[in-house]
Amino acid sequence: MQGVHERMTIVVEGTRADASPQASRLGGRRGRALAVMAVVVLALGALTAWLSIGLRPHLSTGPTSDVDREALEDIDPMGLLQTSYVVDPSDGTWDGLWSFSNEGPVPITVRVHPSGPSPVIHDYALVPLPPPGVGDPPHWETVDSLTVEPGRAFGVSIRFGMGCADYSDAALGLDRIALDVTTWGLTRTVEAGGDFKVLAMTEDGYVAGPDCRGTP
């Protein structure tokens, strides 16, 4: 038995000593390749999550809305909807507030998307909203950009009117706004639908006044 034990020991030691250098190198390469593949898989997963969240911001209609201070309340001709209206507003525009909520899993930064020149007045600005139950937002306190946490809401003030557009016996509608939403460094322009639709209407024979915006 002693001899067998010695032969077994020699065989085991011989196996270690006789291992092929090429086989050892191949084993090392396989280990490094597997490690690289694992890193690549993790990187691809992180990139996919980054693109999925960054390119798909989730905005929904928020809990707050406000209408023009001069508005009157009425039921539409069909008797279905409560409407707010202003006849000959003092500043020539309809003012109000929409709100939107961040339904995504991460914070977002919001800005109003720049719009080109237009004879129609359509001015928007971001309004920070207090937490639910704290109070109404000051209608005139606006900012250029907002960071909105998940589940929180923000406001967009509206100023909409005919301006210098000579539209006689016409109606212009407004029900959405373009917002630039940035998530994890990716910015996407989102068409967000407002809480309600705004209409500006003129009577037959309407002519824009000489002091309208844009007139020399």
Based on the domain organization, do 27 and 76 belong to the same domain?
Answer: no
Choose the final residue of a domain: 11, 37, 54.
54
208 within a domain of the structure (yes/no)? no
45, 124: one domain: no
Give yes or no: residues 97 and 140 share one domain.
yes
pLDDT higher for 209 or 6?
209
Q: Which residues pair with 99 in a beta bridge?
A: 155
Integer-rounded Cα Rg, in Å, for the chain is: 33
pLDDT band per the 50, 70, 90 thresholds, residue 146:
very high
Please give the distance of CA 134 from its chain centroid, rounded to a whole number: 24
Q: Give yes or no: residues 156 and 79 share one domain.
A: yes
Same domain, 69 and 121: yes
Q: Which domain holds residue 12?
A: 2-54
Q: Which amino acid is at 16?
A: R
Same domain, 69 and 102: yes
Q: Is 83 exposed, middle or buried (0-12, 13-18, 19+ CB in 10 A)?
A: middle
At 43-60, the pLDDT tens digits run: 555 555 544 544 568 899
| Mean pLDDT across 70-76 | 82
How many domains does the structure of the chain reveal? 2
* Residues 6+ away with beta carbon under 8 Å from 193: 61, 175, 176
Please check the confidence at residue 88 and state whether its pLDDT lies above 80. yes
- Does residue 69 carry a pLDDT above 60? yes
* 91 and 170, same domain (yes or no): yes
Residue 212 lies in a domain: no
Residue 108 has pLDDT above 90, yes or no: yes
Residue-wise DSSP of 13-70:
HHHHHT--HHHHHHHHHHHHHHHHHHHHHHHHHHHHHHHHHHS---EEE-S--B--TT
pLDDT of residue 34: 61
Residues 49 and 128 in one domain: no
At residue 80, the pLDDT reads 67
What's the mean pLDDT in 93-107?
91
124: left (phi over 0), alpha (psi -120 to 50) or beta: beta
Rounded Cα distance, 17 and 11, in Å: 10
More confident residue, 163 or 213: 163
207 part of a folded domain: no
With 90 as the cut, is the pLDDT of residue 102 above it?
A: yes
- Round the average pLDDT of the chain to a whole number and report it: 76
Q: Is residue 191 part of a domain?
A: yes
User: Can you give the pLDDT at residue 138?
Assistant: 57
Instruction: Report whether pLDDT(135) > 90.
Output: no
Q: Which span out of 66-70, 91-95, 177-181 was modeled with the highest average pLDDT? A: 177-181
Same domain membership, residue 80 and residue 13: no
User: Bigger pLDDT: 166 or 159?
Assistant: 159
Residue 206 falls inside a structural domain: no
User: What is the pLDDT confidence band of residue 82, given thresholds at 50, 70 and 90?
Assistant: confident
In a domain, 139, yes or no: yes
pTM of full prediction above 0.85? no
